[in-house]
Structure 1
Amino acid sequence: MSDTGSATPASTARQASSPENPWPVRTISVKVAQWIDKLGAVWVEGQITQMNLRPGTRTAFLVLRDPAADMSISVTCDPDLLRKAAVPLQEGSRVIVYGKLSFFTGRGTISLRVTEIRPVGIGELLARIERLKALLSAEGLFDPRLKRPIPFLPKRIGLITGRASAAEHDVVTVATQRWPAALFEIRNTAVQGPTAVPQILEAIAALDAHPEVEVIVLARGGGSVEDLLPFSDETLCRAIVSAKTPIVSAIGHEPDNPISDYVADLRAATPTDAAKRVVPDAAAEMALLSEQRERAAAALRGWVNREARALEQLRSRPVLAEPLRMLDQKYDEAERLRTAARRAVEHALSAESTTTRHLREKLTAVGPAATLARGYAVVQRVSGTERHVVRSIDDSPAGSQLRIRVADGAISAAALGTQPLGTRTVRKESAPNDRD
């Protein structure tokens, strides 16, 4: 161990460290100092959070903090750099410094020894804000389609603002006046300076995870461009976009809107305006409800009146006013048709009866009965049970039994003889007792 303790740093550096051969503190301190020295001079931007400038000292001590993260670094410089700065420097000022990192082996600390300090001017800040705005816009973070709707009456309102600030008073007072039952979950944070962004990010994360918070209001009562720089921070803007809960930006600075106004789901001109947009007015809602009720009643009455008129028109139509009228018309028409059909049938029957009578009269006139009535007779020769009409003298020889039918009956006779037409002699066969 004594040999190791007496070894030079250069020789020790060439030896590998091990449990049997560890490096001493001075060796690792020298190595760190050498590595940091290789970084060289750099330009660094940050915000002054502490400034220690004591009279009679030859070194000024500063703490330079990152505006978007909870990180800082110690800075040392010549006091004249602070006294002779073109713009008076104070805690909260944004600066750009040029210097070189140094590692103090005795205390094991790092410090940035600067040789030049440049305050960041308003114009440069605004230019940086515009470049960031263009970047976020190109990424689509300002797209209206990404905006989440604000609930009509949130269960609980998350409020991020300064402690005992006018913005907090305005939001709470106006909201409770408009809706007395409004509930708040308030997170007091720094709203300017180097600690504002980390605290606001922490408050947004806490309220976004709260199960009852349905909207978050980020409020501040205006201020200068330097005071509002935290609300144009890229990290904060991306946190607003990624939050699940709708966020209302109420910074209250009209001439130059911070970028949080563009990425928020709703921009309010002032904290008072934010309260009016988040919480409905109870009196106005009651008046609107009464108006809607009256309009609904009027609409219902109008609808009932229209339907009543329509029913009245339907009832006044003939088919409903006299429902049997059509049946009566059809009945009368059926009666007319039945009477006409009966008349037509009777006429047809009468005509056929007349025709039948005429035919019967004609038939009677030419029939055998009429002929017999006029003095004619039908002579039949009776042969056993058969009868034959005598049409010729040859059909009735002498002695034949005859049946003579006249108009009112029949006469039985016997043929005594025959006499052809055109002769006057009567030939008698044998009829000693023949008399007519």
Structure 2
Amino acid sequence: MATVLNQPDSPMPLGQYMAGLKQLLSGAPHIWVEGELIEFKEIRGNVYGTIRDLNQDVSMSVTVWRSVAAKLSPGIDVGARVTALVNPQLYEKNGRLSLNIQQMNPVGIGDLLARVEMLRKALFAEGLFAPERKRPLPKLPACIGLIAGKDSDAQKDVMRNATLRWPAARFKLIETQVQGPQAPAAVTRALQELDADPQVEVIVIARGGGALEEVILPFSDEALIRAVASAQTPIVSAIGHEADRPILDDVADLRASTPTDAAKRIVPDASEELAMIAEGRQRLAAGVQRLLATEAERLAALRTRPVLANPHTMVQLRAQELAAIRARAFQAADRAVAAGHARIEHLRTQVRSLSPQKTLNRGYAVARTIDGHVLKNPEQAPAGTALQLLLADGALAATSEGTTTSALTDAQPSESKGTDQA
């Protein structure tokens, strides 16, 4: 809570308070300030006016006594940008506070441009002008944001030329102040409004030229430049001044030399696009014709080949090959059957040569007992043993007479005898 110096029952007279306040302010130090003169009139040698801040909506009354007013430069008048050495002054009768000017100098354009260049270097060092920060403009924006002066030539140039190039171009226009101390703040507010609109795909800031200080200074304001750098929508600077560049040209995503040039940059030319489409269609048709001609030539070449000119030839060749294969198969089968027959006959001959019947056919006989046991030695048939002699064409009954004195050696069968010896 503020300190209270007295009590309600002992108040200070207002005149005394105002005198003390005046004395307190008179001890304030002198200081240089900068601003724009918006009022400036001379009365009996003294000058009374109003000075306004260059960037904020703040103003203050000023007083220039005749001794100082006589030394002012001729260029100091309404609208001038000045620096002034001031101290506060309070009028006790009405409590009016003003600035008493001890010295006033107009700000030269050289000084202003030097400040702009200092700011330009500082922002460049921050990287706000880096090429990688530049955003490409949309090929065909659905909605174009435009910031320009009310009913200005720049506004008309952008809209007219853009519509001539692309009749379907659609704008969202914000008319605002584009010159004077309030221009940077006004343009910044318009920029932020358009940047927040999701339908706006590109923003054009346009002004149609003017005096150097009217073009360079408002569009080199640091707050405006930082707002442009932080915007999410691509921005085109269309400030019509070729001799000097405002800082807006450096930070914008695209610099157009004039508002008309900006209109050419933000939308394509419909006639050029139609010509390109027609050319593309012609090239496409020519390409299709070339492809058809090439394929027709290939088809004709295929049709002239023997296999397609006389397709029966291929079938006939394959039929001949198949007949030859069948003939070879039948021949191989015949050879295999003949070889099998020969082998069977050979085996049959071998078997027959080993058959007992073959031996019997040569005149030999097989002696066996009545029960069928084949005799292999004389001891198996003592005298009187009934025997059976197996011949080639039948069998004979015989009786053993016992063992002879000597065995028959190399006995030859006799066909004239009707019986065998045991």
Settle same-fold status: TM greater than 0.5. Answer: yes
Distance 1:352 1:110, change over 3 A: same
The residue that corresponds to 2:348 in the other structure is 357
The within-5 A match list for 1:171-250 is: 171-208=158-195, 212-228=199-215, 229-250=217-238
* Separation of aligned partners in 1, 2:231 and 2:225: 10
User: Aligned AA for 1:355?
Assistant: H
Distance 1:355 1:52, change over 3 A: same
TM-score scaled by length of structure 2: 0.77
The residue that corresponds to 2:33 in the other structure is 44
Residue 272 of structure 1: how far off its partner (Å): 0.4
The within-5 A match list for 1:48-197 is: 48-54=37-43, 57-79=44-66, 84-85=71-72, 88-197=75-184
Is this contact kept in 2: 1:193–1:230, CA < 8 A? yes
Residue 126 of structure 1: how far off its partner (Å): 1.5
The residue that corresponds to 1:403 in the other structure is 388
User: Aligned AA for 1:260?
Assistant: L
The residue that corresponds to 2:252 in the other structure is 264
The residue that corresponds to 2:411 in the other structure is none
Distance 1:346 1:387, change over 3 A: closer
Distance 1:422 1:407, change over 3 A: closer
The residue that corresponds to 1:426 in the other structure is none
* Separation of aligned partners in 2, 1:326 and 1:108: 127
Distance 1:236 1:341, change over 3 A: same
TM-score scaled by length of structure 1: 0.75
The residue that corresponds to 1:254 in the other structure is 242
User: Aligned AA for 1:36?
Assistant: L
How many residue pairs align between the two structures?
403
Q: Deviations for 1:60-83, whole angstroms, at most 9, x for unmatched residues? A: 123222221222222222457566
Residue 401 of structure 1: how far off its partner (Å): 3.2
Is this contact kept in 2: 1:53–1:79, CA < 8 A? no
Is this contact kept in 2: 1:155–1:182, CA < 8 A? yes
Is this contact kept in 2: 1:67–1:230, CA < 8 A? no
User: Aligned AA for 2:36?
Assistant: Q
Q: Secondary structure at the match of 2:405?
A: coil
* Separation of aligned partners in 1, 2:96 and 2:318: 116
Residue 130 of structure 1: how far off its partner (Å): 0.8
Distance 1:251 1:328, change over 3 A: farther
Is this contact kept in 2: 1:69–1:197, CA < 8 A? no
Is this contact kept in 2: 1:160–1:200, CA < 8 A? yes
Is this contact kept in 1: 2:235–2:253, CA < 8 A? yes
Q: Deviations for 1:312-331, whole angstroms, at most 9, x for unmatched residues? A: 99999999999999998997
* Separation of aligned partners in 2, 1:414 and 1:120: 174
Distance 1:297 1:420, change over 3 A: same
* Separation of aligned partners in 2, 1:330 and 1:20: 141
Residue 59 of structure 1: how far off its partner (Å): 0.9
Residue 28 of structure 1: how far off its partner (Å): 4.5
* Separation of aligned partners in 2, 1:340 and 1:31: 146
157-166 or 81-90, larger mean C-alpha shift: 81-90
Q: Indicate the percent of aligned positions where both proteins have the same amino acid.
A: 43
Distance 1:173 1:28, change over 3 A: farther
Residue 227 of structure 1: how far off its partner (Å): 1.9
Distance 1:247 1:412, change over 3 A: closer
79-88 or 257-266, larger mean C-alpha shift: 79-88
Is this contact kept in 2: 1:319–1:326, CA < 8 A? no
Residue 332 of structure 1: how far off its partner (Å): 7.6
**The one of 277, 291, 296 aligned to 1:289:** 277
Q: Secondary structure at the match of 1:226?
A: helix
Q: Secondary structure at the match of 1:357?
A: helix
Q: Deviations for 1:210-257, whole angstroms, at most 9, x for unmatched residues? A: 565443322222233222211112222223334444432111112210
The residue that corresponds to 1:429 in the other structure is none
* Separation of aligned partners in 2, 1:257 and 1:215: 21
Q: Deviations for 1:90-137, whole angstroms, at most 9, x for unmatched residues? A: 322222111222122222222222222222222221110011112222
Q: Secondary structure at the match of 1:238?
A: helix
Residue 417 of structure 1: how far off its partner (Å): 7.4
* Separation of aligned partners in 1, 2:387 and 2:90: 182
Q: Deviations for 1:358-413, whole angstroms, at most 9, x for unmatched residues? A: 413432xxx5434433333334454xxx2455556665555443333333222224
* Separation of aligned partners in 1, 2:65 and 2:110: 27
Is this contact kept in 1: 2:31–2:85, CA < 8 A? yes
* Separation of aligned partners in 2, 1:83 and 1:318: 116
193-202 or 132-141, larger mean C-alpha shift: 193-202
Structure 1: state its 5+ residue gaps. 1-13, 424-435
* Separation of aligned partners in 2, 1:422 and 1:355: 37
The residue that corresponds to 2:412 in the other structure is none
Is this contact kept in 2: 1:44–1:96, CA < 8 A? yes
Structure 2: state its 5+ residue gaps. 409-420
Is this contact kept in 2: 1:393–1:420, CA < 8 A? no
Is this contact kept in 2: 1:92–1:194, CA < 8 A? no
* Separation of aligned partners in 2, 1:123 and 1:190: 24
Is this contact kept in 2: 1:64–1:73, CA < 8 A? yes
